[in-house]
Chains A and B, each alone.
Chain A
Amino acid sequence: MKYTGNVIKYGDNVDTDVIIPARYLNTIDKKELASHCMEDIDKTFTSRVKAGDIIVAGNNFGCGSSREHAPIAIKESGISVVIAKSFARIFYRNSINIGLAIVECPEAAEEISESDEVEIDLDNGIISDKTTGKTYNTEPFPPFIQKIIENGGLVDSVKAGIIK
């Protein structure tokens, strides 16, 4: 699977309260959640994000609450991939479970700049910054997790009998 898009960049410890503030958790409507995505740290996000765009961030992305509404809001906003130096563990599992592509790569997360055009080859774990011409290699997911992703997330994995 390959993704190409332009980068929207954030710093360290982007928490789930700013990704989707709790005051909006009285709904599970994906579009409504997406309409408030990032608004507490970046009021321009929802107006400038385009389908396929890529978030690049620092350490501990998605820390805090277990709300799955956070990766759902990001995915529904049109973001194709999140690259970070590291992810908070619940956000990491949630992203895999709902089928939001995430890549942990400290070097790429450090060097890639806002607005760069980036291509991500998830199968081979290769990130290419088209703007700077630099490429980065990442660790592929363990086979068990690849299997969940190949099956379209956790729900479909249960249906497929991988987890029973």
Chain B
Amino acid sequence: MAMTMTQKILANHAGLDSVTAGQLVLVNLDRVLGNDITSPVAICEFEKMGVSNVFDKDKVTMVMDHFAPNKDIKAAEQCKMCRDFCTEKNVTHFYDVGQMGIEHALLPEKGLVCAGDVVIGADSHTCTYGALGAFSTGVGSTDMACGMATGKAWFKVPSAIKFILKGKLGKYVSGKDVILHIIGKIGVDGALYKSMEFTGEGLSSLSIYDRLTMSNMAIEAGAKNGIFEVDEQTLKYLDEHCSRKPVVYKADPDADYDESYEIDLSEIKSTVAFPHLPENTREIDKVGDIKIDQVVIGSCTNGFYKDIEEAAQILKGHKVAKYVRTIIIPATPAIYTKALENGLIRIFMDAGCVVSTPTCGPCLGGHMGILAKGERAVSTTNRNFVGRMGDVTSEVYLASPAVAAASAITGKITDPAEVMGK
């Protein structure tokens, strides 16, 4: 029976020769992830199960990234609950302030995800690791608890949509624009319950970081996972970061896909998602005059070094517009350090930005950049739902780091090419 990439990984982890879409399978997990918001609920459920220990202390991972550094007393209690649990269970990969980064940037960097893995995380953006050829998906806290106890999770085997990429991205266009373009095309439930599988000769022009951004937002199209075919770049990245041997699954040539889209990367323009859904996309030349109050550059979607560097290249030698609070959040300590060593932090400070410690903070309206009534932000994050970054009347416009940086300079949503004078 012909299978997709996702189906092959699930079959392997279920101990089956083959699986078909719709089949329910119980699979073995290579990693179980949680953060400071979702883990406390999982820990309560775990305690109810009457299990004394986690299934594998090296395969459970907790990252204190959402409301950390602790935004208030309640958040401090939640982090403490996670810290106490991980200490008691001797969990190897517990990341607290100082070591922690935004979870989906941190795990690939630390080599905790490899091609061919099955990963569940109590965070919807766990789908990020599809960029590395893993099956990874977001679940809730009870699934996390069950995963921590048993090392297993149940799944309905998904059908898939294939995206065949060709061509090369233009200047100032990145993975963010590609995924926003795709979500604009198929809608926020366009891939509901399904896999998004990315393949084609265009892959070679997409860096691992462009791919991480794209897989990260598969959930914004409703998808179960978003996975890239493993190529030389993936293997090189894994070789540099992960000590385990990648297991590469390619889709069968006759695998069944519900739909197939051909995307010419060279035709994609900088794209912005208007409030209040990621599917409300417009190309940069059709955004009109949108004045902004805040810019956020960071998050699990676009807080990688490449993103921070792209923003710095645009902000270099400029000042951000008066009254535009520009918040830069390198996603991990390693990214922060590299940005410091390469002079990027100086560029941001000179431009009038602030540079924050890693945190999910503003993306979900937690802390570190909340919007007042009627305010507008351009953000490189992943969601622009009602009230996502603050007051219910505030607005979030999703964009690439290049567009966000250009917009910070002019104070309105701006094409980076315009600021760079070409």
Chain A residues in contact with chain B, CB under 8 A?
13, 15, 17-18, 21-23, 25-28, 40-41, 59-60, 63-69, 71-72, 86, 88-90, 93-94, 97-98, 142, 144-145, 148, 153-155, 158-159, 163-164
Contact = CB atoms under 8 A, between A and B. Distances in A.
Contacts of A159: 48-50
A26 B146 contact: no
A27 B142 contact: no
B66 interface: yes
Contact of B48 (A23, A41, A59, A155): A155
A158 B138 CA distance: 20
Contacts of B154: 144, 148, 163
B150 A26 contact: no
A18 to B, nearest CB: 6
B122 A66 contact: yes
Nearest to B73: A26
Contacts of B219: 64, 90
B150 A164 contact: yes
B386 interface: yes
Contact of B143 (A15, A93, A145, A164): A93
A41 B44 contact: no
B48 A64 contact: no
Contact of B45 (A13, A86, A90, A155): A155
Interface in B131-156: 138-143, 145-146, 149-150, 152, 154, 156
Contacts of B78: 26, 28
A153 B146 CA distance: 11
B37 interface: yes
Contacts of A98: 140, 142
B145 A155 contact: yes
Contacts of A86: 189, 192
Contacts of B124: 64-66, 90
Interface of B: 24, 26, 37-38, 40-41, 44-45, 48-51, 66-67, 71-72, 74-75, 78, 121-124, 126, 138-143, 145-146, 149-150, 152, 154, 156, 188-189, 192-193, 219, 222, 224, 277, 364-366, 383, 385-388, 392
A144 B26 CA distance: 10
Contacts of B140: 66-68, 71, 90, 93-94, 97-98
A41 B189 contact: no
8 A-B pairs closest in CB distance: A94-B140, A26-B74, A68-B140, A97-B142, A22-B364, A60-B189, A66-B124, A40-B387
A28 B51 CA distance: 21
Contact of B152 (A13, A26, A65, A163): A163
B192 A17 contact: no
Contacts of A26: 67, 71-72, 74-75, 78
A64 B189 contact: no
Contacts of A21: 365, 387
A40 B385 CA distance: 10
A63 B188 contact: yes
B192 A25 contact: no
Given A17-B383, A90-B140, A23 B192 contact: no
23 contacts: A13-B277, A17-B365, A18-B386, A22-B66, A22-B364, A26-B74, A28-B40, A28-B44, A41-B386, A60-B188, A66-B123, A66-B138, A68-B142, A69-B37, A88-B192, A89-B192, A90-B124, A90-B219, A94-B141, A155-B145, A155-B146, A159-B50, A163-B26
Nearest to B74: A26
Nearest to B26: A163
B224 A89 contact: yes
Nearest to B152: A163
Contacts of B188: 13, 60, 63
A89 B41 contact: no
Given A18-B387, A25-B66, A90-B124, A66 B50 contact: no
Contacts of B121: 66
Given A88-B222, A155-B45, A164-B150, 14 more contacts: A13-B189, A17-B364, A22-B388, A25-B37, A27-B74, A63-B189, A63-B222, A69-B41, A71-B140, A88-B189, A97-B142, A144-B154, A155-B48, A155-B49
